[in-house]
Amino acid sequence: MSPKITTELLKQLRQVMKSPKYVQEPIQAYIVPSGDAHQSEYIAPCDCRRAFISGFDGSAGTAIVTEQHAAMWTDGRYFLQAAHQMDNNWTLMKMGLKDTPTQEDWLVSVLPEGSKVGVDPFIIPADQWKRMSKALRSAGHDLVPVKENLIDTIWTDCPQRPCKPLITLNLSYTGVSWRDKIVALRSKMAERKVLWFVVTALDEVAWLFNLRGSDVEYNPVFFAYAVIGMNTIRLFIDGDRMMDPAVREHLQLDSTLEPEFKIQVMPYGSILSELQAVGAGLSPKEKVWLSDKASYALTEAVPKAYRYLTPYTPICIAKAVKNASETEGMRRAHIKDAVALCELFNWLEKEVPKGTVTEIIAADKAEEFRSQQKDFVELSFATISSTGPNGAIIHYKPVPETNRTLSVNEIYLLDSGAQYKDGTTDVTRTVHFGTPSAYEKECFTYVLKGHIAVSAAIFPNGTKGHLLDSFARSALWDCGLDYLHGTGHGVGSFLNVHEGPCGISYKTFADEPLEAGMIVSDEPGYYEDGSFGIRIENVVLVIPAETKYNFKNRGSLTFEPLTLVPIQTKMIDVSLLTQKEFDWVNDYHQKCREVIGAELERQGRHEALRWLIQETEPLVRVQ
């Protein structure tokens, strides 16, 4: 993979950083964050500004360009990828390593005295602005909002913002009507004595109105904001998609409704002026509720005294706790997904020894099998199909320049998922098509032990996910091994494959406690640079646990795997498993055989069924 040559682009950016046409005064540094105006993780092509200026296109990273330097901060998932994709104009800042300076510290060390640091106020979250502004100010510098995005001024062939048709979801999928969701939101607002609520995250807008879109690849969302008052609803959205009769009927736009449920549809670009008008009309003690991750621009539109900011919104928390219809839908989606993967692995076992299957062919085949399933919409992220040394690149995506052929001599890691109308999937399996080495089996088994430790964990109600992160690492730590990513993330219901407010990661202590109905991933791994990668990932549902005692009457929780795809037993060193782990694998495989076997039978997929039966043979201990 040859890096993007950025010399000319950086020269142009440095010129506009001084141009009175775009900045009131010259700025000495410009920050290019990853996100869009909604702080999304996955973004539309027109918002890929950091990738445009640097060449690095991973999902997380921040570029900072000064008059002399260009630096990129990213996390452990992307160290290898960023190093491959950026030319020598750029310095890679490896976040999480102890010698890596923070963005603020680095700026302070390289900037001349009294510098101005610019950023697009729509792209930077308010909480980040506050932290950065304070750190820079204490060193004599200023963080300043730059109204026009400077990358856009030099990006001559920037794609248009998408504005694709909407999908309406009925009660059989959502379990709760959008009107009832508005009522629940207003009761949360009343509890906090808040008059207005601003919805800025795209998945929150989609969830609230029971709508989905396709403006962002892999994420069934659409560009919109909403402002909910105690008796008004404003939806800011562009395009003729609101003229679709199905959408109009779903939102009851042409019905005579009680005024508090009448939706006013307004242009997407008018959110700032409308919010400023709301802010200007407030009486003392009246408040506007925003996420502290909302953009600095929108947060500033509301005078400080009237703002009510929280790290997680009531929509974010309600969305994370799946109701019975959503949980049922997620179960169905994972059964369909397992059928597709049984077909895939059965096909790979026959084809790989012929030496004709590449990473891209395997990824495309996975999509082909998934697309045969009912209610399939699209993939839920770019498939990570990686063999041998490519497996050590945690968020690897095969491209023609790196595309390896699968073989019987290397470990193959497949991390993939889909969006179905009834749920979102994300599953990783690591397999060997030949004979794994003793060391590969040992590493795989430590990862499996970690996966089971989380999956089988029983913990008190009110426990935050980050406390379970070390359960997944304990077996690896015992042998001096580890992995540089979190252990799990929340998963949406036909929504974003990564969602808050819960997760299992050492990287955050701001996660919300786990509660029954939440759905997260369980995905420990181990990566040997230049050799292989191992990850075992299931999506799991938080459920109540029965325990012998009940301390302080607070109740306990555990996990139920929704992903039902066999874990390759030839990769397991059975001698390293405890009896409890040994039984867990056999019980899990029994469930895969029963549930997925019945569905394969129903769909008439007899060859894949034979493969499933062979792969779910119980483990035996060699005496």
Q: How far apart are CA 314 and CA 501, in angstroms?
A: 10
pLDDT of 499 reads 95
Residues 126 and 294: beta-carbon distance below 8 Å = yes
Q: Counting Cβ atoms within 10 Å, is residue 178 exposed (0-12), middle (13-18) or buried (19+)?
A: buried
Q: Counting Cβ atoms within 10 Å, is residue 154 exposed (0-12), middle (13-18) or buried (19+)?
A: middle
Torsion of CA 349, 593, 374, 247, to 10 degrees: -120
Residues 70 and 89: beta-carbon distance below 8 Å = yes
Residue 507 above 90 pLDDT?
no
Reported in sequence order, the residue ranges of 89-163 that DSSP labels E, i.e. its strands, are 91-94, 116-119, 142-145
Residues 266 and 236: beta-carbon distance below 8 Å = yes
> 3-class DSSP state for residue 122?
coil
Residues 289 and 197: beta-carbon distance below 8 Å = yes
Residue-wise pLDDT for 128-167, tens only, equals 999 999 999 999 999 999 999 999 999 999 999 999 999 9
Q: Tokens at residue 206, please? A: 């989609």
Q: How far apart are CA 115 and CA 474, in angstroms?
A: 46
| Model confidence, pTM | 0.94
Confidence of residue 622 (pLDDT cuts 50, 70, 90): confident
Q: How far apart are CA 120 and CA 145, in angstroms?
A: 6
Q: Compute φ and ψ for 442, nearest 5 degrees.
A: -60, -50
Residue 510 above 80 pLDDT?
no
What is 604-618 written as a DSSP string?
T-HHHHHHHHHHTPP
* CB atoms closer than 10 angstroms to residue 97: 11
* CB atoms closer than 10 angstroms to residue 517: 16
Residue 623 above 80 pLDDT?
no
Biggest CA pair distance of the chain? 79
pLDDT of 509 reads 72
What is 404-467 written as a DSSP string?
PBP-TTSEEEEEE-EEETTEE--EEEEEESS---HHHHHHHHHHHHHHHHHHT--EETT-BGGG
Residue-wise pLDDT for 352-386, tens only, equals 999 999 999 999 999 999 999 999 999 999 999 99
Residue-wise pLDDT for 224-270, tens only, equals 999 999 999 999 999 899 999 999 999 999 998 899 999 999 999 99
Length of the chain: 623
Which residues are bridge partners to 519 per DSSP? 541
Q: In terms of C-beta distances under 8 Å and separation of at least 24 residues, what long-range contacts does 388-393 make, across chains too?
A: 388/531, 388/532, 389/529, 389/530, 389/531, 389/532, 390/359, 390/533, 391/430, 391/527, 391/532, 391/533, 391/534, 392/80, 392/527, 392/528, 392/529, 392/530, 392/531, 392/532, 392/533, 393/80, 393/81, 393/533
Reported in sequence order, the residue ranges of 275-401 that DSSP labels E, i.e. its strands, are 288-291, 307-310, 376-379, 384-387
Residue 394 above 80 pLDDT?
yes
Residues 197 and 225: beta-carbon distance below 8 Å = no
Q: Tokens at residue 353, please? A: 């020894």
> 3-class DSSP state for residue 395?
coil
Read off the DSSP letter of residue 217. T
What percent of the chain lies above the pLDDT cut of 90?
97
Residues 14 and 97: beta-carbon distance below 8 Å = no
Q: Tokens at residue 229, please? A: 């008052």
Residues 214 and 172: beta-carbon distance below 8 Å = no
CA distances from 547 to 142, 292, 450, 580 (A): 56, 38, 22, 17
Angle at which helices 202-209 and 178-191 cross, to 10°: 120
Q: Are strands 167-168 and 116-119 parallel, antiparallel or unpaired?
A: unpaired
pLDDT averaged over every residue in the chain: 96
Residue 1 above 90 pLDDT?
no
Q: How far apart are CA 251 and CA 262, in angstroms?
A: 9
Q: How many separate helices (H) and strands (E) can be counted in the chain?
A: 19, 28
pLDDT of 239 reads 87
Residue-wise pLDDT for 59-99, tens only, equals 899 999 999 999 999 999 899 999 999 999 999 999 999 99
Residue-wise pLDDT for 555-610, tens only, equals 999 999 999 999 999 999 999 999 999 999 999 999 999 999 999 999 999 999 99
User: How many Cα atoms are found within 13 Å in the side-chain-facing hemisphere of 116?
Assistant: 12
Q: Of the candidates 564, 585, 613, 607, which has an alpha carbon nearest to the alpha carbon of residue 338? A: 564
- The predicted model gives 96-112 an average pLDDT of 96
